[in-house]
Amino acid sequence: MTTATLNAIRADITTLAVDAIVNAANSSLLGGGGVDGAIHRAAGPDLLHECRLLAGCKTGDAKFTRGYRLPAGHIIHTVGPVWRGGEAGEPAQLASCYRRCLGVADAQGFASIAFPSISTGIYGYPIENAATVAVATVREELATGSSVTEVTFACFSEADLAVYQAVLGA
């Protein structure tokens, strides 16, 4: 049984004052477009210095850094799968992102975490499928016990928010 709350809101994730925000990064961890670029811009150049020490990240894995100029204390960087039609292990890799991020958060004792919609931008994962994996995996993971009590899905568009709200309410 989980006592955590799961919420979807429309927000720029870089503005959220939570213990950790999640970055949908690429495997180099050296910055990119989309939410990754926004996080690096908002956190400032010291983030890139710390990221260089991490030696990249595999698809489905997660590594954390400090949050620097962000209101969030930390950033958990994860690498989502590129959508290749859905038969190339993408759902398992996406689920792994959510599990590993929550694993890192729990190991650090974080209570609040915010996720962007991993893989659904440049990486092309269909939003309905991705939101279903995101919500189901977070629920499963928190049911096993965690320091995390508050999960926010930060949706960048009104359309994405509607999808998450439908999945959360289902």
Of 49-57, 100-108, 119-127, 141-149, the segment contacting ligand ADP by CB under 6 A is 119-127
Using CB under 6 A, pick the residue from 95, 100, 160, 164 that binds ligand ADP.
160
Give min distance, CB of 42 to ligand ADP, in A: 8
82: Cβ contacts below 8 Å, ≥ 6 apart: 90, 119, 123, 124
Using CB under 6 A, pick the residue from 35, 51, 97, 113 that binds ligand ADP.
35
Can you give the three-state secondary structure of 88-146, one letter per residue? CCHHHHHHHHHHHHHHHHHHHCCCEEEECCCCCCCCCCCHHHHHHHHHHHHHHHHHCCC
Give min distance, CB of 148 to ligand ADP, in A: 19
Alpha-carbon distance values, 36 to 8, 25, 53, 87 (Å): 20, 5, 17, 26
Tokens at residue 35, please? 């939410």
| Cβ closest to ligand ADP, residue 11 vs residue 147 | 11
What distance in Å separates the CA atoms of residue 11 and residue 92, rounded to the nearest whole number? 27
Using CB under 6 A, pick the residue from 59, 93, 112, 119 that binds ligand ADP.
119
Asked if 126 touches ligand ADP (CB under 6 A), the answer is no
Could you confirm whether 36 is annotated as catalytic?
yes
Amino acid letter, 110: F
Using CB under 6 A, pick the residue from 94, 118, 135, 148 that binds ligand ADP.
118
Give min distance, CB of 135 to ligand ADP, in A: 15
- DSSP-derived letter for residue 87 is -
Chain residues in the site for ligand ADP (CB under 6 A): 12-14, 24, 34-36, 38, 80, 116-123, 154, 156, 160
Annotated active-site positions, please? 36
